[in-house]
Structure 1
Amino acid sequence: MITDMKYAPVGMFRNYTREMSVFIWASMINSTGAALMWPLTTIFVHQVLNRSLAEAGFVIMMQMLGNVLGQFAGGSLYYKFGVRKLLIGALAVTAVFQASLVVTAYSSWWGYIVTMFVIGFTGNLSQPAIQSFIGFRWADRRDELFNVVYVANNIGVALGTALSGILADISFNLTFILNASTSAAFAVFFYYFLQHIKEETAPAKPNATPSVKGARRAQLDDMPDKGAIPHLTIVDQLRNVRLYLFLSVGSMMIWMANSLWGSGVAPHITDQGMEMKMYSWLWTLNGILIFVGQPITSWMKRTIAQPVTSQLTWSAVFYSLAYVVILLFPSYSGFIVAMMIATLGEMLVSPAVPAFLAARAGRNAPFYMGLAGGISSIGRMIGPVALGVAYDSGGLQAVMRVSVVIAIVATVSFMLHAYLQKSKLRAEKNQYYDNYS
């Protein structure tokens, strides 16, 4: 399995065009910069600004609210402004507000909160555009590119998180400036990167029809890439619930339940007298597994989870199993095993959502990527609060019982999504054969 370099951890970064490789490396550098600040928000608010942990949680919640609204807006504005203006503009504004923290973070409490909200909003305004760009520009290889960009971004997060503590020991202002610098650099990168690239108005077909003889078969095979009718209103797009609703709800539940690591496992570790580095090591393990575990998920995608919808369902199953492990074995060894299982789920779900929408939503993919991203971000926003309340009322066991139930709901939601897509595809194929019979 690992002998094929295409699926080996290092081999996955090879065999790409220069254009693809530059994009992948730029994404990793940007994610490194983004990770310089967010792990330290709680520490900065509590230790530097002398605010309570509840107030630190409020700042994070406001930033997450900005994330949600930014995803929604980014998908809706994709065709209004175009990928070039949306990407460069969002990143440039983000850089300005990140740099402004050297003033606003100290001069005004509410000014700091508003700045963090805007950073969350503009920072995620560009996400649907980036995902749509990958899906439209490299339609024939979008699935593997969504995956390799996901892996590269996680490497960047690991590097940024590791550097953040070192830089914060020198100066928090240094982290703000470097964070802003990477956003500005990413904006400049896209300015030059997109200059000679024609903006796509619809995804290119991954497979051209080889001959007249194979035309019908090729057209049938390409049917999953046929998107929704162009120029639909927002209301019309929202009505297409079978495309996005259960996919989005499943993702929201996944990320809501996954908040247990910070709202359940982390306080449990400290309550048991263990050092916080024991918690950090769990995330180090997560980062390592995302890289070295690629052959496992690649094998699954080639065998038992070929359809993207199946990858989503398997991801929820892995998350459910991971939480059951912690529920039955609430020890550090149980946390390690659970993190390994949950990471497999993460490796399946994160690239699968944009890959599915790029394939099925056609020209309207940017809108649905923003919609799905926004809904899933709601889970990240309310998860820490909901599971924090559960921990206060019943400790780790209460958190895990709630998380298992939420993960099961996610599994059911993804299964319903897969059923709806299979039924729709079957109906489309029957209609196609009827038209040519």
Structure 2
Amino acid sequence: MLSRRFTQFLPKETYAFLVARLFNAMGSAFIWPLTTIYVHNVLHGNYAAAGWVLFGQSLAGALGQFAGGAMYHRLGPMRLIVGSLLLTALAQWSLMLARSLPPYAVAIAANSFLISATQPALNAFVGNRWKPFSARLFNTMYVMTNIGIAVGTALAGVIASVSFTLTFFLNGLLTMSFAAFMWRFLQRLGPETEDAPIDAMPQIDRSTWQLFRNYRVYALLGAGMLALSLALAAWNSGVAPYLNQTGHRPDAYSVLWTVNGMLILVGQPVIGWIKRRVAQSTAQLILSSALYAAAFAGMAMAHRAYPALVAGMVVATFGEMLNAPTVPELVTRMTGPHAAFYLGLVGAIGNVGSLLGPVLFGHLFDLAGISPILWVATGASILATAAFAGYARVVRRLGDTPGAPNDMRTPSADEGTQFTG
């Protein structure tokens, strides 16, 4: 499925994990594209009600990221990853019984909370288990996830046209299968000699409050991710209604995301070339937000021409490809055994932008159309660039620059404590 060059130097034991991750992403994509349609067409709620359901879903996801990171060292990877996946499958199956809006809103929020709680644990496990390969592995996970999402969203409409109940059932089945795979995978993988057993409860001598107080590790990085997630809301809450308002065909918006998905696959050689020349992880984050700013600024000046929106998506996608795999790699490399906590915290802070963006841009669009939305998104991307630049200075002061090509070592547990309190 992936070329030999793309997966070179990855441990063979990771291949099964990557394929399982693809199927899990495919299953997750069965639900989220259809939430608004299901609320409106099946539960007979209005679009405002669907908006509040999505708001609750995003809020639950933010809380889940933080909770998952905070519970990682109390439960351990085995219990947290497998347990949350099992509960997620049950939450997804409960959607089959949700015949009115309130139960559906609760079930979809529970699903979002539980699956989000899994993410920092998975990323921390991957980053700490395969330390020398973490940068390549996170990038490969990112690509495999996008393949799964592309396939899942394509199948979601087809399956839903047969039965929404079947959609929920298959979603839960794939999640349950991923839980069974991870349980067996973690058991067979076994602990490395220098690591604590992967199913044990690690002994941590730092409280959650002590970790939280070490704001240098997460504050500027989280602020940058918040600004970017706010900017990205311009696609759904600005570009989509603009295309509808100006009489474009319904598929004009989906074409933009088709471009996004295809570019993530075919653009990997270009991203590899960029990363070889911009080697430091913090520099890649700065470049990613600068590309987002350029994309939104270009669209703000030329949005009346549809090709300008396509060009904006192309530039923004390169920003995404530099950002998405770099953040977990950077955090796990800096914080070592405390990575899950900080991954959850950064993810939760970043999700605040996803909560605020649709509300802000919805009002802006009603008042003045798409132009101010794109300029606000540009400004937010510039603020993200400044936050990432400040974070790069913090990293240099802490004495480590993750991602440098000649510095592939990972801090030991003792070294890692300098970043965690």
Q: Distance in 2 between matches of 1:189 and 1:426?
A: 36
**Counterpart in the other structure of 2:156:** 164
d(CA) in 1 for partners of 2:389, 2:224? 9
How far apart are residue 98 of structure 1 and its match? 0.4
Q: Within the alignment, does 1:185 sit opposite 2:177 as a pair? A: yes
CA distance in 2, matches of 1:158, 1:243: 33
Q: Percent identity?
A: 38
Q: After TM superposition, list the pairs within 5 Å mapping 1:174-323 onto structure 2.
A: 174-198=166-190, 231-303=205-277, 305-323=278-296
For 2:386, give the aligned amino acid. Answer: V
Whether 2:54 is the aligned partner of 1:80: answer no
Residues 391-416 of structure 1, C-alpha deviations (whole Å, 9 max, x = no match): 11110101111111111111110110
Which residue pairs with 1:42 in the alignment? 36
Change (3 A) 1:61 1:178: same
Check whether the contact 1:256–1:379 (CA below 8 A) recurs between aligned residues.
yes
Aligned position for 1:425: 399
Change (3 A) 1:365 1:271: same
CA distance in structure 2 between the partners assigned to 1:346 and 1:203 by the alignment: 32
TM-score, reference length from structure 2 = 0.90
Residues 1:64 and 2:38 are matched in the alignment: no
Distance verdict in 2 for CA 1:203–1:320, change over 3 Å: farther
Write the deviation string for residues 50-71 of structure 1: whole angstroms up to 9, x where unpaired.
1111110111111111100100
Q: For residue 257 of structure 1, give the secondary structure of its aligned residue in structure 2.
A: helix
Q: Does 1:146 align with 2:138?
A: yes
Contact 1:9–1:292 (CA<8 Å) still a contact in 2? no
- Higher CA-based Rg: 1
Describe the SS at the equivalent of 1:420.
Answer: helix
8 Å CA contact 1:135–1:203 kept in 2: the answer is no
Pairwise CA distance, 1:352: 0.8
Which residue identity is paired with 1:154?
N
Task: Give the conservation status (yes or no) of the 8 Å contact 1:9–1:294.
Answer: no
In the alignment, does 2:349 pair up with 1:375? yes
Letter in 1 for 2:184: Y
**1:177: Cα distance to partner?**
0.7
The one-letter code of the counterpart of 2:7 is F
**CA distance 1:168–1:426, shift in 2 (3 Å):** closer
Measured in 2, the distance between the counterparts of 1:327 and 1:342 equals 13
Q: Is the 8 A contact 1:247 1:414 kept in 2?
A: yes
Q: Look up the equivalent residue of 1:251 and give its one-letter code.
A: M
Q: What does residue 225 of structure 1 align with?
A: none
Q: CA deviation at 1:10?
A: 6.3
The 8 Å contact of residues 39 and 101 in structure 2, kept in 1 or not, is answered as no
1:361 is paired with a residue of what secondary structure?
helix
- Partner residue in 2 for 1:386: 360
The alpha-carbon deviation at position 390 of structure 1 amounts to: 1.3
CA–CA distance in structure 2, aligned partners of residues 396 and 53 of structure 1:
20
Between the aligned partners of 2:210 and 2:168, the Cα distance in structure 1 is 41
CA displacement 1:73-114 (0-9 Å, x = unmatched): 10011111110010111000110110111111x1x3211111
The CA RMSD measured in Å over matched residues stands at: 1.9
- 1:319 partner amino acid: Y
**In structure 1, C-alpha distance between the alignment counterparts of 2:119 and 2:282, rounded to whole Å:** 22
Residue 110 of structure 2 aligns with an amino acid whose one-letter code is V
Q: Deviations over 1:167-224 (max 9, x none)?
A: 11111111111111111011000111011333579879xxxxxxxxxxxxxxxxxxxx
What is the letter of the counterpart of residue 287 of structure 2? W
Distance of aligned partners of 1:299 and 1:55 in 2 relative to their CA distance in 1, 3 Å threshold: same
Q: Which residue number in structure 2 is paired with residue 92 of structure 1? A: 86
Structure 1 length as normaliser, TM-score?
Answer: 0.87
Match of 2:319 among 345, 361, 365: 345
The question of 1:329 aligning with 2:302 is answered: yes
Residue 211 of structure 1: aligned partner: none
Superposition deviation, residue 297 in structure 1: 1.3
Contact 1:71-1:371 at 8 Å conserved across structures: yes
Q: Is the 8 A contact 2:82 2:180 kept in 1?
A: yes
Shift of 1:354: 0.5
In the other structure, the counterpart of 2:21 is: 27
Write the deviation string for residues 115-167 of structure 1: whole angstroms up to 9, x where unpaired. 11111110111111100111111001001100000010001000000001111
The Cα of 1:275 is off from its aligned counterpart by: 1.3
User: CA–CA distance in 2 between the matches of 1:16 and 1:200?
Assistant: 17
Equivalents in 1 of 2:87, 2:308: separation in Å?
43
CA–CA separation in structure 1 for the residues paired with 2:214 and 2:194: 19
Specify whether residues 201 and 382 from structure 1 end up closer, same or farther in structure 2 by C-alpha distance, changes over 3 A only: farther
Q: Give the whole-Å Cα distance in 2 for the aligned partners of 1:276 and 1:306.
A: 40
The whole-number CA distance in structure 1 between the counterparts of 2:395 and 2:265 is 30
The SS at the match of 2:209 is: helix
Q: Which letter does structure 1 place at the counterpart of 2:207?
A: T
Is the contact made by 2:9 and 2:133 (CA closer than 8 Å) also made in structure 1? no
| 2: CA distance, partners of 1:9 / 1:187 | 27
What does residue 412 of structure 1 align with?
386
The runs of 5 or more residues in structure 2 that have no matched partner are: 197-202, 402-414, 416-421
- Partner amino acid, structure 2, of 1:99: W
Tell me the matched-pair count: 394
